[in-house]
Chain A
Amino acid sequence: MKLVIGNKNYSSWSLRPWIAMTALGIPFEEILIPFGTPLGNPDFKARLAAYTPAGLVPVLIDGDVHVWETLAIMEYLAEKLPGKQLWPADAKVRAHARAISSEMHAGFSALRGECPVNFRRPVRTRDISAAAQANVKRVEEIWGDCRAKYSGPFLFGAFGAADAMYAPMVARLSIYGIAVGDQTHAYMETMMALPAWGEWRKGALAESWIVPEDEADWPTVLTA
């Protein structure tokens, strides 16, 4: 299998299937197509068009099957590799995992807009809007509820697709120094301690491409 992704520093969508596959030991070849600058540059679009009609990363390629959209990729992997347990085994718990994964997939737009994933940015507190604060509150509630119900350390016990869906959220809360409760902090530490997290981050920090749209402090580019 091949996974087509964007810049590791910025591409929150790409991080999801990448960390899911890496953390679960699913082998794949990585194809990185940098966004370049400015966003939407013709080269990125032209190169990506060879892999997907939707024009978005990530894309999973398995023989003649091309799957785009992170959630669809998770479902594809869950079916193909049932032993990897991307979703919890119990039907009720699985429904919960899918509900919060979908909620992530289509929600939290204020927080995502104000705190773009940017691994290179040193941890620095940023003031966020009331809407983004409400997003943070809901994310903390989702994580806290899962870890209380299913005993942690990940959302549903062992690492799975739901954790992968929320991985960029862990990065955002960390990078922008968002104030969170102890339980939330403990979950973030668990995620950031994954070897796969370290590997992705290392790749992100080695990149030199700057995307102004995702630099919250623009025209300043904060680097460690």
Chain B
Amino acid sequence: MAVNAPIAPAARPRPVQRVRRHRWGTLLWSAARTPRGAIGLVLASFVVLVAVIGPFVAPNSPEALVTLAFGKPSGQFPLGGDFLGRDVLSRVLNGGWVLLIMAAIATAIGISGGAAAGVSAAYLRGVSDGIIMRAVDVILSFPQLVFALLLLSLLGPQLWLITITVGVSHAPQVARVLRSATLDVSERDFVKAAELQGMRPAKVMWKEILPNLVSPLMVETGLRLTYSIVIIAGLAFLGFGPPPPAATWGTMINENREGLSLNPWAVIVPALLIALLTIGTNTFTDAFARVAIGVDRRPQEAALIDDLGREPSE
């Protein structure tokens, strides 16, 4: 035979392009592209836009008495007047941003507090786990709104206090969810590898475990944001909100409900905006969660990942 030695192996080019990417960004983007996510995003963005731009485009001062009490909608006052004769449209446009900021801060407090408690309970186990989770159980045994009312009636209705109270009332639920997610992650070998490097527990949780909890964290954030909006608006309705004459959507519903038959728009519009906002954030969060756990991944991608992304483990 002419050939008696193998030909030298050809140079092997790297076939696969390897690129850096931010997974949670990718996930957010693919969530936004699902029908569910797109609807949620549009709804929520619309309300946010109203709240943010509103104060700059409002035709009248929200506190000026410019029309009749419960005046019917007219060309000059498209949504009519409220119980004191203030312009409803201007009050609606001005009344959103406080709610949004309070909801955002309360969510941040709830998520960070809950995550810290949940992750450390799960990772440290033992006594810490017992103490943290029993405290969580105690708070969980009160309905969230009742818990917030209890604290506020003890401490007084300050805006910052309302925000913190709502945030704290979220923490236990967040802690429960993240504890179970952490139990799973902390059993993985890379956590053990970090322990063998002599890493301090706090650093293990922060550097190794937390980055792997991005998906549950984002889902929780969306969910808690929705609840924050509902609870803060609800508290405002019950009288725990910015003091009069400030305009907020929750207060407006309360103030104007007596005139429901005279000028329903003064109640309907703020209620509708709150509803759209919560539906929007909740729908988008749902879309994100589905993408993150792979329900809504396009079937072809799913098959590729199942079939070829993993090797059989023994």
A binds B: no
Instruction: Identify the B interface with A (CB < 8 A).
Output: none
Instruction: Identify the A interface with B (CB < 8 A).
Output: none
